[in-house]
Amino acid sequence: MRTFVPQLVQRGREPRWLAPLLVVVAVALVYVATAAPIRAAGANPAAAYERYVFTPLTSTSSLTEVLLAATPILFTGLAVAVAFRSGYYNIGAEGQFLAGAVGASFAGLYLPDLPGPLAVPVALLLGAAAGVAWALLPALLRVNFRIDEVVTTLLLNPVALLGVQGLLNGPWRNTGSGFPVTDDFGAGYEMPPAAPGARVHLGLVIAVVIAVVIWVVLARTATGLRVRAVGLSPAAAGFSGVGVNRVLFGSALVSGGIAGLGGASQVLGVGQQLTNEVSGGYGYTGIVVATLGALSAVGVVLVALLLGDITVGAQNASLVLQLPPQMGDIIAASLLLAVVSVLVLRRYKFRLRPGRFTGEQAS
């Protein structure tokens, strides 16, 4: 008896239209998969998606919200992309973001009288330094003792959150209200607007500049080629004279610095005080942003904007349609999994072959 089963067979050269088509397939999959829970929550999926994707783009004020929401995940997305590009799996952007927020808050609380033109740069610098510091231990352990950075960076995330909570419940507790939030920073610590009169702050501009720098470095410089070589094949890069440990260490610290800068930009740009909710998972979302953006600077910018759009849409939908805002996170996570899954198919094509199904790919 002959049975025919569908099998994945490696294809030679992929057609150009394939990747975009597959992304469309992934989006459709996400839509289908999320339709049921949206219905269960009593809303119409089509209407909900209109809120998620299009409504935020229809007014200037909500567009501003989108850019504000995209700013922190643009930082963490770039941070993660820089590390992943060199093959250093920094999953600790969350902790480094929090450390950066604490660093900036330190300036804001203890140097309140610094004048405006000096205050913000000092706070940003302290934030970046704190992010680097939080990334230092895992990087040292990885480079010197080959201890897996995935585990150490992950474990430092809850520690960073506990650190923030400890500060807010202890020495940094609000002297007026007694709530676990810091006092307001000195007057000079408000992040300047991106453009005169805009609500979007300078953080977005800084993040975009970083994205451009990353793009240029990766595409055009020797350092960039070294980073790519290490990320693609550390053994071959080392053989070819690239200092693998130096590249890993460097990109780990740069990654931590960018994440820390993001945390600093967030406390300075929104509210000028440190709260427990300063991050709310931006570091983890950064992994989604970086991966969906194919670890390229341009991709990261686009995906950060898209997820910022969906975040604002989700808040909107929770007010108007009573859809819990966590649907935004569900969409982001399922989009990530759907896209990486279907993109695997780029290298394969379906074919019917005789035999029994083993669940493995033959090629």
Which of positions 34-93 make contact with another protein (CB under 8 A)? Answer: 37, 40-41, 89, 91
Q: For the beta carbon of residue 36, count every other beta carbon within 10 angstroms.
A: 10
Cα–Cα distance measured from residue 267 to residue 277, given in angstroms and rounded to the nearest whole number: 10
Query: Element (H or E) spanning 7, and its range?
Result: strand 4-10
Shortest distance, position 190 Cβ to another protein, whole Å: 29
User: Considering only residues 29, 150, 270, 321, which one is a binding residue for another protein as defined by CB under 8 A?
Assistant: 150
Residue list 104-133, contact with another protein (CB under 8 A): none
Shortest distance, position 168 Cβ to another protein, whole Å: 9
Shortest distance, position 65 Cβ to another protein, whole Å: 21
294 sits near another protein (criterion: CB under 8 A): no
148 sits near another protein (criterion: CB under 8 A): yes
Nearer to another protein by Cβ, of 47 and 137: the residue is 137
Q: Which residues contact 302 (CB under 8 A, 6 or more apart)?
A: 293
Residue list 308-347, contact with another protein (CB under 8 A): 324-327, 329-330, 332-334, 336-337, 340-341, 344
Can you read off the two tokens belonging to residue 11? 């294809």
Shortest distance, position 362 Cβ to another protein, whole Å: 6
Find residue 349's DSSP bridge partners.
9
> Given the rule CB under 8 A, which of 18-26, 153-161, 200-208, 304-312 is the region that contacts another protein?
153-161
Can you read off the two tokens belonging to residue 208? 């975009």
Which of 295, 296, 331, 289 is CA-nearest to residue 310? Answer: 331
Q: Contacts with another protein: how many residues (CB under 8 A)?
A: 72
Nearer to another protein by Cβ, of 126 and 156: the residue is 156
Cα–Cα distance measured from residue 357 to residue 139, given in angstroms and rounded to the nearest whole number: 43
CB 101 within 8 A of CB 266: yes
Q: Which residues contact 273 (CB under 8 A, 6 or more apart)?
A: 105, 108, 181, 182, 183, 184, 185, 267
Shortest distance, position 8 Cβ to another protein, whole Å: 9
Nearer to another protein by Cβ, of 45 and 163: the residue is 163
Shortest distance, position 215 Cβ to another protein, whole Å: 13
Can you read off the two tokens belonging to residue 13? 């050269």
User: Considering only residues 16, 113, 146, 178, which one is a binding residue for another protein as defined by CB under 8 A?
Assistant: 146
Estimate to the nearest angstrom the gap between the alpha carbon of 240 and the chain centroid: 32
Residue 62 half-sphere exposure toward CB, CA atoms < 13 A: 18
Estimate to the nearest angstrom the gap between the alpha carbon of 352 and the chain centroid: 40
- What's 16's DSSP letter? T
Residue list 207-246, contact with another protein (CB under 8 A): 220-222, 225-226, 228-229, 232-233, 235-243
1 sits near another protein (criterion: CB under 8 A): no
Nearer to another protein by Cβ, of 198 and 345: the residue is 345
In 3-state terms, what secondary structure has residue 39?
helix
Nearer to another protein by Cβ, of 57 and 353: the residue is 353
- What character string, x for contact with another protein (CB under 8 A) and - otherwise, covers 248-287? ------------------------------------x--x
Helix ranges (H only) for the chain are 18-40, 45-49, 60-85, 93-110, 116-145, 149-169, 202-220, 222-232, 234-239, 244-269, 282-292, 297-320, 326-344
Nearer to another protein by Cβ, of 163 and 271: the residue is 163
Nearer to another protein by Cβ, of 40 and 117: the residue is 40
351 sits near another protein (criterion: CB under 8 A): no
Nearer to another protein by Cβ, of 59 and 351: the residue is 351
355 sits near another protein (criterion: CB under 8 A): yes
165 sits near another protein (criterion: CB under 8 A): yes
Nearer to another protein by Cβ, of 118 and 159: the residue is 159
**b/e map 343-362, b = 16+ CB within 10 Å:** bebeebeeeeeeeeeeeeee
Nearer to another protein by Cβ, of 229 and 264: the residue is 229
